[in-house]
Amino acid sequence: MEIYSLRSYYNSTFRNSTNKNTKTPGIEIETANPVSNAAQTSEQNASNLDFSSMTPRDLREVARVGLEDGLIDQETFATISEGLPMQTIDVNGRIVDLSDIGDNTPFNFRDYYESQLDIAMSIGSGSSAEVLRSIMSFIGNGR
């Protein structure tokens, strides 16, 4: 008795079929992919999301979809995905404590990235400013 892999059997059946029907009887493939609300984004509706009250987990998911759709590059995705620091400085020079922001805590990413862009531009950090501009463009407040 010979044992064939399912792949070789399927390919053999496909090649030998006269009508070239690729459906295998009794097997149905569901084409609808159930995905979360955060993943149902595109270039048209990314600006409709509320980045002023979004959890870090949802932001990473939106960024992942943006990367897959070609809306952002790998460096922008990595910056968004790296998470928030424990503390940061706002545009007025005050230290802001972010240690209580968890993965499921809503946060104002629009203001955060906008202030980080202002700081990067004021200190002359060109590479950081460029990535932050890309983030701001992605979340719908491009400069």
Q: Where are the domains of the chain?
A: 39-138
N- to C-terminal Cα separation, the chain: 68
Strands 87-89 and 95-97, by their bridges, are: antiparallel
Hey, what are 3's tokens?
């044992």
pTM (predicted TM-score): 0.64
User: Tokens 């230290």 label which residue?
Assistant: 95
Q: What is the pLDDT of residue 137?
A: 93
3-state secondary structure at position 25:
coil
Q: What is the pLDDT of residue 140?
A: 80
3-state secondary structure at position 77:
helix
Helix (H) or strand (E) holding 96: strand 95-97
Contacts of 121 by beta carbon, 8 Å cutoff, 6+ apart: 129
Q: What is the pLDDT of residue 41?
A: 39
Q: What is the pLDDT of residue 27?
A: 53
* Tens-digit pLDDT string for the chain (143 aa): 555 555 544 445 445 544 544 454 555 544 444 444 444 434 444 557 889 899 999 999 999 999 999 999 999 999 999 989 999 998 888 999 999 999 999 999 999 999 999 999 988 878 899 999 999 999 885 44
